[in-house]
Amino acid sequence: MPLNSINTNMGAMVALQSLNRTNDELAGVQKRVSTGYRVADAKDDGAAFAVAERIRGDMAATTSANQQLGGVKGLLEVTNASLSNVSTALNKLKEITVKLADGAITAEQRTQYQAQVKELTNNIKSFVTDASYNGLNVLNDPTTLAVKVVSNGQGGYYTFSGYSAQTNIYNGISNANAYTTGGAAAALTTTGAVSTAITNTLTQLNNFGSYSNYIDSQINYNKNILDAQESGMGALVDADLAKESARLQALQIRQQLGSQALGIANQSPQLLLSLFK
């Protein structure tokens, strides 16, 4: 093929091919800079993108599990607050029951103490029946209530039991305002109604406190898993923006030089006109 030809311009062809390659590379770099991802879709790296999508699914599931655990945490906090109030009221009830067990008090004093006791037992019942969170009360006489909670993104469960506080705490002291001297003394014994109610309350405070500790630990554990998953996915698909920035500037210079080279190559046929003057 003649070097001096107006039909075939090899210089322009080479310059155009080089410019096209530069433009393709520049488009890739601009995509990485604009998205922040080295692998933004399956076209960039199908295998890495598939792995990243699986990790994103795992992260979404773990986040959802933590949201559910947050609701359970609220339920347990309400339950613990209720039991704490019941415990305080029972201690006050025990204090007044001691006075009712004293045969030396006057009839008027007994009436006043019995009125205080009635108010305390009413409060205890209210603490139990009002311990609801999102429509669920695990103290209000559940018969076979077992709360099954999603604990992680893999479908694991944590189960804890409710407690019949009305039956095991309130019902035993509901008639405390009618205590006689002997009845009050009997209620204060180790197996008496007041002592039993206090023991049952403290046992459940321990149980529900343990449930709360587990939920808190699981939430923190899930957060650590999310951090690890995010870190791993970042290493897999995130772009090195410092490197891409330098690459972007180099390609922009190459693009400019390529455009100039193509312009020069396109002017070569014009030089042949001088041969015919």
Supply the DSSP string of 211-268, one letter for each residue.
HHHHHHHHHHHHHHHHHHHHHHHHHHHB--HHHHHHHHHHHHHHHHHHHHHHHHHHHH
CA separation for the pair 201, 127 (Å, rounded): 12
Q: Are 89 and 194 in contact (CB under 8 A)?
A: no
What local confidence, expressed as pLDDT, does residue 197 receive? 97
pLDDT band at 2 (very low <50, low <70, confident <90, very high): low
The winner for highest mean pLDDT among 95-99, 228-232, 244-248 is 95-99
Q: What's the average model confidence in pLDDT over 157-182?
A: 93
Give the tokens for residue 24. Answer: 């393709």
Q: In a 3-state reduction of DSSP, which class is residue 136?
A: strand
Average pLDDT, the chain: 88
Give the closest residue to 195 by CA, choosing from 205, 184, 179, 209.
184
pLDDT band at 188 (very low <50, low <70, confident <90, very high): very high
Q: Which residues are within 8 A (CB) of 66 and not within 5 positions of it... i.e. 6 or more apart?
A: 219, 222, 223, 226
Q: Quick one: angle between helices 10-35 and 241-271, nearest 10?
A: 160
Higher pLDDT, 265 or 1: 265
Higher pLDDT, 38 or 96: 96
Q: Which residues are within 8 A (CB) of 43 and not within 5 positions of it... i.e. 6 or more apart?
A: none
Per mean pLDDT, which range of 37-41, 75-79, 109-113 is the poorest? Answer: 37-41
What local confidence, expressed as pLDDT, does residue 3 receive? 61
CA separation for the pair 242, 36 (Å, rounded): 11
pLDDT surpasses 80 at 265: no
Residue recorded with tokens 């406190």:
209
- What pTM did the predictor assign? 0.76
Q: Are 157 and 150 in contact (CB under 8 A)?
A: yes
CA separation for the pair 260, 258 (Å, rounded): 5
Q: In a 3-state reduction of DSSP, which class is residue 171?
A: helix
Q: What percent of the chain has pLDDT over 90?
A: 55
Q: What is the pLDDT of residues 90-115, one digit of tens each?
A: 999 999 999 999 999 999 999 999 99
What local confidence, expressed as pLDDT, does residue 253 receive? 81
Per mean pLDDT, which range of 7-11, 99-103, 162-166, 212-216 is the poorest? Answer: 7-11
What local confidence, expressed as pLDDT, does residue 143 receive? 59
Provide φ and ψ at 174, rounded to 5°.
-65, -25
CA separation for the pair 204, 131 (Å, rounded): 14
Residue recorded with tokens 């469960």:
157
CA separation for the pair 74, 139 (Å, rounded): 14
Q: What's the average model confidence in pLDDT over 262-274?
A: 73
Q: In a 3-state reduction of DSSP, which class is residue 128?
A: helix
Q: In a 3-state reduction of DSSP, which class is residue 158?
A: strand
Provide φ and ψ at 38, rounded to 5°.
-75, -35
The overall longest dimension of the chain from CA atoms, in Å, is 141
